[in-house]
Structure 1
């Protein structure tokens, strides 16, 4: 199977968009708070199951690549444009909620509001995964690590909010 240059560019674009959204969210959060997110995270009182701050950029990079790959798979389907547009609506909505989380949690230090955002994000990701599954199951499966990470993130965000009230 030969892959065209056009398809390679499309794939790179699909992967770069979530990576850039995550990076810009982090930069904006730091600009708003005036504190590096790793420093802010380090200074919080955290539960014993909280990972070291260095884990987050690694995990999110992998998740953004998987997210972008799954969107590429969906956008590459040649049938049922209505289903694809519907599924991609949820992709873009969850990406927007994802973007907001760092700004809320780190930038404005609104940990409870960030938790609400995370719960909404989780709901949108579940809907997105369901819609991706109806179009191309592998695109849904690529988001299973994202779902698992969000469950962990919700629990972690809750305990950080509760402990640091």
Structure 2
């Protein structure tokens, strides 16, 4: 196996497994008021799995182009920053039970995904398009997060 393939698989698995472990859907979550247009809970796992697989594929596709211009460190840094930003959201929302804090973190996550879209095109023609579903999903999730905060605020009291 090559480094880009190992990195991409590790990145996707760490985010998928970590996100799953940090997402405890319990009574607190079920008691939240949610908009009628929220997708069913079962859809989130397959959506994130697809998004991470596409983003991993984009990394592998971009590697040779980044290597040709000496920018593999930039490519790795963009994915690491995105992974950290993605990883931070779930504990804020689910573990700390602070959708309001998670909403403040979302612009960092969204910007990290946009940076992937804008940068990967330098290395591969298809790669940024593989990231577009990620950007769309994070954009949708931002609106959903905002609506949950709006319907349930204030947060920070007794859990």
TM-score, structure 1 as length reference = 0.82
Q: Is the Cα–Cα contact under 8 Å of residues 89 and 105 in structure 2 kept in the other structure?
A: yes
SS of alignment partner, residue 137 of structure 1? coil
Q: Which runs of 5+ in 1 are unaligned?
A: 1-5, 31-35
Q: Is the Cα–Cα contact under 8 Å of residues 63 and 123 in structure 2 kept in the other structure?
A: no
Q: Is the Cα–Cα contact under 8 Å of residues 33 and 152 in structure 2 kept in the other structure?
A: yes
Q: Which runs of 5+ in 2 are unaligned?
A: 154-159
SS of alignment partner, residue 81 of structure 1? coil
How many equivalent residue pairs? 152
Partner residue, 2:143 = 155
Q: Is the Cα–Cα contact under 8 Å of residues 118 and 154 in structure 1 kept in the other structure?
A: yes
Q: Is the Cα–Cα contact under 8 Å of residues 19 and 65 in structure 1 kept in the other structure?
A: no
Note the 1:90-105 alignment, pairs <5 A: 90-105=78-93
Judging changes above 3 Å, is the alpha-carbon distance between structure 1 residues 41 and 62 closer, same or farther for their aligned structure 2 residues? farther
From 11, 18, 21, the counterpart of 1:24: 18
The alpha-carbon deviation at position 40 of structure 1 amounts to 4.6
**Residue by residue, what CA displacement relative to the aligned partner does 1:41-79 show, whole Å, maximum 9, x if unpaired?**
433210111011111001000001111111112223340
1:53, 1:92 → 2: CA distance?
A: 27
2:151, 2:133 → 1: CA distance?
A: 27
2:47 is equivalent to residue 59 of structure 1:
yes
Partner residue, 1:79 = 68
**Residue by residue, what CA displacement relative to the aligned partner does 1:92-140 show, whole Å, maximum 9, x if unpaired?**
1011110011111001011111112112111111112111111212111
TM-score, structure 2 as length reference = 0.85
Q: Is the Cα–Cα contact under 8 Å of residues 15 and 87 in structure 2 kept in the other structure?
A: yes
Note the 1:140-151 alignment, pairs <5 A: 140-151=128-139
Partner residue, 1:120 = 108
SS of alignment partner, residue 157 of structure 1? helix
CA RMSD of aligned residues (A): 1.9
Q: Is the Cα–Cα contact under 8 Å of residues 26 and 103 in structure 1 kept in the other structure?
A: no
